[in-house]
Structure 1
Amino acid sequence: MQLRPYQQEAREAVQAEWSQGRKRTLLVLPTGCGKTIVFSKIIEDQVKEGKRVLVLAHRSELLEQASDKLKTATGLGTALEKAENTSLGSWYRVVVGSVQTMQREKRLSQFPPNWFDTIVVDEAHHAISDGYQRVLGYFEQSDVLGVTATPDRGDMRNLGTYFDSLAYEYSLVQAIKEGYLSKIKAITIPLTLDLSNVSMSAGDFKASDVGTALDPYLEQIADEMVKQCANRKTVVFLPLVKTSQKFRDILNQKGFRAAEVNGESKDRAEVLQDFEDDKYNVLCNSMLLTEGWDCPSVDCVVVLRPTKVRALYSQMVGRGTRLHPGKEELLLLDFLWHTERHELCRPAHLICESPEVTQKMVENMEEETGVLLDLEDMEVKAAEDVVAQREEALAKQLEEMRKRKRKLVDPLQFEMSIHAEDLSNYVPNFGWEQAPASDKQLKALEKYGIFTDEIGNAGKANLLLDRLHKRQSEGLTTPKQIRFLEGRGFKDVGMWQFDQARNMIDRIAANGWRLPAGVRPKEYVPG
């Protein structure tokens, strides 16, 4: 099986992390980008080296999916570690294991602690729970790969308590731009659902309370669906089985062909197949279909299970992001939720990286209710709005920095000059990133011309050094050139070529360190 370019990059990046001694690493790929294929190929590489591998997951569908993809993509067979099935005595080098089974003391003790060389955790946002930690702690010498769809910063910081590094991340925006996932458009429906009395449980909205809060609005929501998605293939996520069943009945009264599935459905496989075959055009479920189920022809998702957890929100929307012949885009129906205390996941959370841009995009979309909006376009506009606001606020601060009698460049001046939002917004996630910058890092930064007193941690130092190496290889300006020329009023010197900056500095030097005649720094654009 031929891997896509980003899949091959991911495969190599994971191997590189392990070879450099970072034993617990993460791979972040959006839903629909073939994470199972990627980790199957990584497992194949491990088996070729004679290693034993455990794939750990918390649901039967995920175990079956991993086993099937491994067979299809690599030809490797697997042994099963679940309930009465055991892998002991099997000659297969790959085991797919249920975490519920593996975490039991009696089951774990049957394996020597060094039995598995490598462990792959599917849906790795679950990896910090007690059950997973029991298994991972027992096989603590193993190299570990955690695979997950895009987590938010909070998730990543939590995962950083166990994982050492992020080997590779492929964003939803990249996947859409490169044509591997469907474009996403959203309509914010001007219907406000009141969640102000809903309580919290385990860090998210309590499902039973959400069900009660949602009940009075189901008729109105169905009417909106008639307007927006009567000709689409739609999956609806609801908080409770009874709410899901009630909503199915309402939709059928409105002319939809709606079905419902839940964990107790005896005919679940049959209903899912009938939906795939277009016997139904709406599928209601109570959080059953968030992981391990694919139906690429889905072109509309309705999230009526409000959540604060971005990984969960991504999973729900991800049911509709796959490509399919004749499918032009995924439509996301976005309802206004009134909540006084907690920030909810909205379409903006799928594609924005910084909290400020996310907030701005949410505000912008709420001003345009009832209009079909392209998420990529909205993210670009929100980012531009935030940059404009931030540049205004930072202008004075930078002006002060440029006046300082200092040979080295403030990191903030460098970041703003090269338009490096990712550096300005950087938050350390992993343990090693949070440690103080090393002497070696600080000396290397000073050699490049960066003032290091404000470099708070090793992660920021590492990012800065990577960016500086890259800029050097691309022939772009150095921090010292930026400081010198911006100190004389030139703009955006960080975007110039090294030779353009050197020529201007040579001209200034030849003119007795005064600006050459006719050069207006604020208007000057290098030729």
Structure 2
Amino acid sequence: MFSKVIEDRVRLGERVLVLAHRGELLDQASEKLEKSTGLKTALEKAENTSLGSFFRVVVGSVQTMQREKRLRQFPPDYFDTIIVDEAHHCISAGYQFVLKHFEKSNVLGVTATPDRGDMQNLGTYFESLAYEYSLPAAIKSGYLSPITALTIPLQLDLTSVAQQAGDFSTKDLGTALDPYLHQIADEMVKHCSDRKSVVFLPLVKTSKKFRDILNEKGMRAAEVNGESKDRAEILEDFESDKYNVLCNSMLLTEGWDCPSVDCIVVLRPTKVRSLYSQMVGRGTRLFPGKENLLLLDFLWHVERHELCHPAHLIASSDDVAKKMTENIEEAGLDGLAVDIEQAEVQAEKDVISEREEALAKQLAEMRKRKQRLVDPLQFEMSIQAEDLTSYVPSFGWEMGPPSEKQVSALEKLGIMPDAIDNAGKASLMLDRLQKRKEAGLATPKQIRLLEQRGFKNVGTWPFEGASKMINRIAANGWRLPVGVRPMEYVPE
């Protein structure tokens, strides 16, 4: 996708920089660009310089580019467009130093994992989300493998593990994991012996120890780490099925691809969704004969902190993720693996049901209040707009207060603006109201008036049908006409 963007920019006569933080990513960007567009690239890394090159595209290492002496060689307007690969890293100081130098450039960030471990939202830098393609959409479209989650009823106690940089300390995790390695290996023999598995562990020594335990139990396991001199050979042997388990200490989260992997075991519990997504992502590629990706999940016992589970890969909200995790764990007690897409559908139904019960009293009170404008929550529940009810702003402009123009438009359309506290929600609400108007559906005021008199599902009524019933009620002294049963009534 970003190769095509680069091709378009070069056709316009622009100079483009592709910025990344690892050599493998720079090589991948260069190879994919030439393969898909024919464009060759200059390299800005270590002793390699792009200055003087006639190529319009430069692939640059952020570690090299952020050196002040190197950066000063480029005028601030040298690059027209900058593309940041693995853009979830770009909030860091090194990236920001480079991007601020080229402050007039257009910047496109691409990432498969748009969360950051330090919780700084990408919306603090990027102005808008150009395009989003979700994991469930990719699975449904047949571009990624379906994911099946199996919770292993093995309690692993992490209550003594310390925090470090917003996540668990890897040193403490390794120590906490050690007593359970034999039991985990037994579970892998039971569930993964006929699969090609990648295991993520917190420490190199833990990774090596687990490899040895697996081999003792009859598995064909190998281990790779940053110091492995034969890393390329081990990875090649794994791909060619000499091994069926590959243990690593967080080495293979980015820049490595083996489509035949059909089992992921995360023994490095984390609160960081991007890190979790990267680990699981090593097994989501399609491969001939591969039916699904099996994701083994364990019952991590931890105080205060919410861990990432399979549910967090696709859940639309934290509430849904929590309910999904509960449902998957319950199935795991019976030894059942669960398709995570089906689990999400069920969890969403459960959450909506629980939420409706919790809000029933509040909504009943709202309907009694005779207000000129309709409370947005009441309207959202009436039209069953889950996206509005659970909306959380992401980008900077969305987090600000609604504009005067938005407030005026909301009032005009019958919605109480005081209860909408950010511009993003106001924009989403106005868009929904406009679409309902174009579709000829009932207005917020019509819905409230008719619901107050006991009519059901008024959010689905046409505007004309709602108007006719309100006119009949008005003509009858604001009493229900004889013979009209609100609980059963459906407009023509």
Shift of residue 364 of structure 1?
A: 2.2
Q: Which residue of 2 aligns with 1:276?
A: 239
Q: Is the 2:116–2:274 contact (alpha carbons within 8 Å) kept by the matching residues of 1?
A: no
Q: 1:248 to 1:440 in 2, by over 3 A?
A: same
Q: Aligned pair 1:322/2:295, yes or no? A: no
Shift of residue 316 of structure 1?
A: 0.4
Q: In structure 1, what is the Cα distance between the partners aligned to 2:119 and 2:448?
A: 34
Q: In structure 1, what is the Cα distance between the partners aligned to 2:119 and 2:412?
A: 32
Q: Is the 2:115–2:274 contact (alpha carbons within 8 Å) kept by the matching residues of 1?
A: yes
Q: Aligned pair 1:74/2:37, yes or no? A: yes
Shift of residue 512 of structure 1?
A: 5.2
Q: 1:217 to 1:521 in 2, by over 3 A?
A: same
Q: 2:384 aligns with which of 400, 419, 422?
A: 419
Q: Which residue of 2 aligns with 1:176?
A: 139
Q: In structure 2, what is the Cα distance between the partners aligned to 1:342 and 1:518?
A: 57
Q: In structure 2, what is the Cα distance between the partners aligned to 1:407 and 1:459?
A: 24
Shift of residue 179 of structure 1?
A: 2.2
Q: In structure 1, what is the Cα distance between the partners aligned to 2:378 and 2:145?
A: 38
Q: Aligned pair 1:356/2:304, yes or no? A: no
**AA partner of residue 390 (structure 1):** R
Shift of residue 177 of structure 1?
A: 2.1
Q: In structure 2, what is the Cα distance between the partners aligned to 1:349 and 1:87?
A: 41
Q: Is the 2:88–2:113 contact (alpha carbons within 8 Å) kept by the matching residues of 1?
A: no
Q: In structure 2, what is the Cα distance between the partners aligned to 1:155 and 1:331?
A: 29
Instruction: Please give the secondary structure, in 1, of the residue aligned with 2:374.
Output: coil
Q: Which residue of 1 aligns with 2:85?
A: 122
**AA partner of residue 58 (structure 1):** H
Q: Is the 1:186–1:347 contact (alpha carbons within 8 Å) kept by the matching residues of 2?
A: yes
Q: 1:452 aligns with which of 414, 417, 423?
A: 417
Shift of residue 128 of structure 1?
A: 0.8
Shift of residue 526 of structure 1?
A: 4.2
Q: In structure 1, what is the Cα distance between the partners aligned to 2:420 and 2:116?
A: 20
Shift of residue 149 of structure 1?
A: 2.1
Q: In structure 1, what is the Cα distance between the partners aligned to 2:186 and 2:484?
A: 64
Shift of residue 329 of structure 1?
A: 0.9
Shift of residue 219 of structure 1?
A: 1.1
Q: Decide which moves more: 79-88 or 469-478.
A: 469-478
Instruction: Please give the secondary structure, in 2, of the residue aligned with 1:185.
Output: strand
Q: Which residue of 1 aligns with 2:396?
A: 431
Shift of residue 152 of structure 1?
A: 5.0
Q: Decide which moves more: 471-480 or 445-454.
A: 471-480
Q: Decide which moves more: 188-197 or 175-184.
A: 175-184
Q: Which residue of 2 aligns with 1:158?
A: 121
Q: In structure 2, what is the Cα distance between the partners aligned to 1:262 and 1:73?
A: 32
Q: Which residue of 1 aligns with 2:19?
A: 56
Q: Aligned pair 1:377/2:342, yes or no? A: yes
Q: Which residue of 2 aligns with 1:389?
A: 354
Q: 2:191 aligns with which of 224, 228, 237?
A: 228
Q: In structure 2, what is the Cα distance between the partners aligned to 1:153 and 1:78?
A: 29
Deviations, residues 274-315 of structure 1 (Å, cap 9, x unaligned): 212222111111111101111111111000011110000000
Q: Aligned pair 1:215/2:185, yes or no? A: no
Structure 1 residues without counterparts, runs of 5 or longer: 1-37
Q: Aligned pair 1:490/2:448, yes or no? A: no
Q: In structure 2, what is the Cα distance between the partners aligned to 1:274 and 1:121?
A: 32
Deviations, residues 185-222 of structure 1 (Å, cap 9, x unaligned): 11100111111111121111111111111111111111
Q: In structure 2, what is the Cα distance between the partners aligned to 1:338 and 1:282?
A: 26
Q: In structure 1, what is the Cα distance between the partners aligned to 2:54 and 2:152?
A: 56
Q: In structure 2, what is the Cα distance between the partners aligned to 1:442 and 1:67?
A: 48
Q: Decide which moves more: 232-241 or 273-282.
A: 273-282
Shift of residue 107 of structure 1?
A: 0.8
Q: Is the 1:150–1:171 contact (alpha carbons within 8 Å) kept by the matching residues of 2?
A: no
Q: Aligned pair 1:407/2:372, yes or no? A: yes
**AA partner of residue 244 (structure 1):** S
Deviations, residues 248-281 of structure 1 (Å, cap 9, x unaligned): 1111222211111111222222222221222211
**AA partner of residue 381 (structure 1):** Q
Q: In structure 1, what is the Cα distance between the partners aligned to 2:218 and 2:341?
A: 33
Where do residues 6-85 of structure 1 align in structure 2 (5 Å cutoff)?
Answer: 38-85=1-48
Q: TM-score, normalised by structure 1?
A: 0.89
Q: Is the 2:382–2:457 contact (alpha carbons within 8 Å) kept by the matching residues of 1?
A: yes
Q: In structure 1, what is the Cα distance between the partners aligned to 2:87 and 2:293?
A: 26
Instruction: Please give the secondary structure, in 2, of the residue aligned with 1:467.
Output: helix
Q: In structure 2, what is the Cα distance between the partners aligned to 1:142 and 1:483?
A: 50
Q: In structure 1, what is the Cα distance between the partners aligned to 2:290 and 2:423?
A: 45
Where do residues 465-476 of structure 1 align in structure 2 (5 Å cutoff)?
Answer: 465-476=430-441
**AA partner of residue 129 (structure 2):** L
Q: 1:309 aligns with which of 249, 259, 272?
A: 272
Q: Which residue of 1 aligns with 2:105?
A: 142
Shift of residue 451 of structure 1?
A: 1.4
Q: In structure 1, what is the Cα distance between the partners aligned to 2:69 and 2:348?
A: 53
Deviations, residues 429-450 of structure 1 (Å, cap 9, x unaligned): 2221122111111122222221
Q: Is the 1:125–1:155 contact (alpha carbons within 8 Å) kept by the matching residues of 2?
A: no
Q: Decide which moves more: 103-112 or 91-100.
A: 91-100
Q: In structure 2, what is the Cα distance between the partners aligned to 1:226 and 1:129?
A: 41
Q: Aligned pair 1:300/2:256, yes or no? A: no
Q: In structure 1, what is the Cα distance between the partners aligned to 2:62 and 2:300?
A: 35
Q: In structure 1, what is the Cα distance between the partners aligned to 2:113 and 2:178?
A: 31
**AA partner of residue 69 (structure 2):** K
Shift of residue 509 of structure 1?
A: 4.6
Shift of residue 150 of structure 1?
A: 4.1
Shift of residue 476 of structure 1?
A: 3.0
Q: 1:519 to 1:180 in 2, by over 3 A?
A: farther
Shift of residue 388 of structure 1?
A: 1.2
Shift of residue 496 of structure 1?
A: 3.0
Q: Which residue of 2 aligns with 1:17?
A: none
Q: 1:475 to 1:93 in 2, by over 3 A?
A: farther
Deviations, residues 71-111 of structure 1 (Å, cap 9, x unaligned): 12222111111111111111111111111111110111010
Deviations, residues 226-264 of structure 1 (Å, cap 9, x unaligned): 110110111111111111111111112222111111112
Q: Which residue of 1 aligns with 2:49?
A: 86
Instruction: Please give the secondary structure, in 2, of the residue aligned with 1:284.
Output: strand
Q: Is the 2:91–2:120 contact (alpha carbons within 8 Å) kept by the matching residues of 1?
A: no
**AA partner of residue 176 (structure 2):** A
Q: 1:526 to 1:279 in 2, by over 3 A?
A: farther
Q: In structure 2, what is the Cα distance between the partners aligned to 1:208 and 1:333?
A: 22
Deviations, residues 365-421 of structure 1 (Å, cap 9, x unaligned): 222223211111221222212111111121121122222222322111111112112
Instruction: Please give the secondary structure, in 2, of the residue aligned with 1:169.
Output: coil
Q: In structure 2, what is the Cα distance between the partners aligned to 1:449 and 1:157?
A: 36
Shift of residue 463 of structure 1?
A: 1.2
Q: Which residue of 1 aligns with 2:202?
A: 239
Q: Is the 2:20–2:84 contact (alpha carbons within 8 Å) kept by the matching residues of 1?
A: yes
Shift of residue 332 of structure 1?
A: 0.3
